[in-house]
Amino acid sequence: MLTDSGGQRIYGTALTFDETLSSELRAQVRAKGHVHVDQVFSQKAICVLSHFSFLESFKEVLKQLYRIHLSHTPVPLERFVVNLLEEIPVPDKAGAVQVLHEIGNQPVPFYRPVD
């Protein structure tokens, strides 16, 4: 959680993962003198920042986005992100309304906790 200068809170959720480097980047590593390198991994992360504390929901969304990325679906990954950001309504009342969003055939609930 971050707090800006105006006192507004910004909540963040991140998913970190390792990916193997492309053959071009591995060749560059070998050219630098590391000739015995078979696989090189790079740590990457995807994250969501929001003014709403949907931390567990965002964690599930990030997991599903990563799974979709690994499945090499013909639908661009950006389409799922746009759907998440632009087309899902924010629950109106704290603790009263729950919105279900389905990503990757798994429903993810969004609800505003009671303060």
Q: What is the pLDDT of residues 7-19, one digit of tens each?
A: 999 999 999 999 8
DSSP output for 49-111: EESS--HHHHHHHHHHHHHHHHHT-SS-HHHHHHHHHHSSPPPSSTTT-EEEEEETTEEEEEE
Does the pTM surpass 0.75? The reply is no
Our CA angle for 65, 67, 69, nearest 5°, is 70
Which residues of the chain are under the pLDDT cut of 50? Answer: none
Helix (H), strand (E) at residue 30: helix 23-31
Q: What's the pLDDT score for residue 65?
A: 87
* 57-68 residue pLDDT tens: 889 889 888 888
Tell me which residue has tokens 């629950």: 91
Whole domain around residue 13: which residue ranges?
A: 2-111
Split into its structural domains, the chain has a count of 1
